[in-house]
Amino acid sequence: MMRDYQSIEEVLHDFAHLSEEAADRLKGHDGSFTLALRDGRVYSLVLKDGAAQLVPELSECDCRVESDEKTLLELLAGRLHPAKALLLRKVRVQGNIAKIMELISLI
The CATH code of the domain that includes 81 is 3.30.1050.10
What b/e readout covers 26-60, taking b as 16+ CB neighbours within 10 angstroms? beebebbbbbbbeeeeebbbbbeebebeeeeebee
Inside any domain, residue 68:
yes
Binned at pLDDT 50, 70 and 90, residue 23 comes out as: confident
Inside any domain, residue 83:
yes
Sheet with 91-95, edge to edge strand ranges: 51-55, 42-48, 30-37, 63-67, 91-95
Inside any domain, residue 60:
yes
Determine the pLDDT at residue 24.
80
Mean pLDDT value across residues 26-52 = 88
| pLDDT at 1 exceeding the cut of 50 | no
Inside any domain, residue 66:
yes
Q: Kindly compute the dihedral angle of the four CA atoms of residues 11, 74, 33, 15, in this order, to the nearest 10 degrees.
A: 20
Inside any domain, residue 1:
no
- Give the model confidence (pLDDT) of 56-104 as tens digits: 999 999 999 999 999 999 988 889 988 899 899 999 999 998 887 766 6
The domain in which residue 12 lies consists of 8-104
Determine the pLDDT at residue 7.
94
Inside any domain, residue 52:
yes
Q: What whole-number percentage of the chain has pLDDT above 90? A: 48
Number of domains in the chain: 1
Inside any domain, residue 3:
no
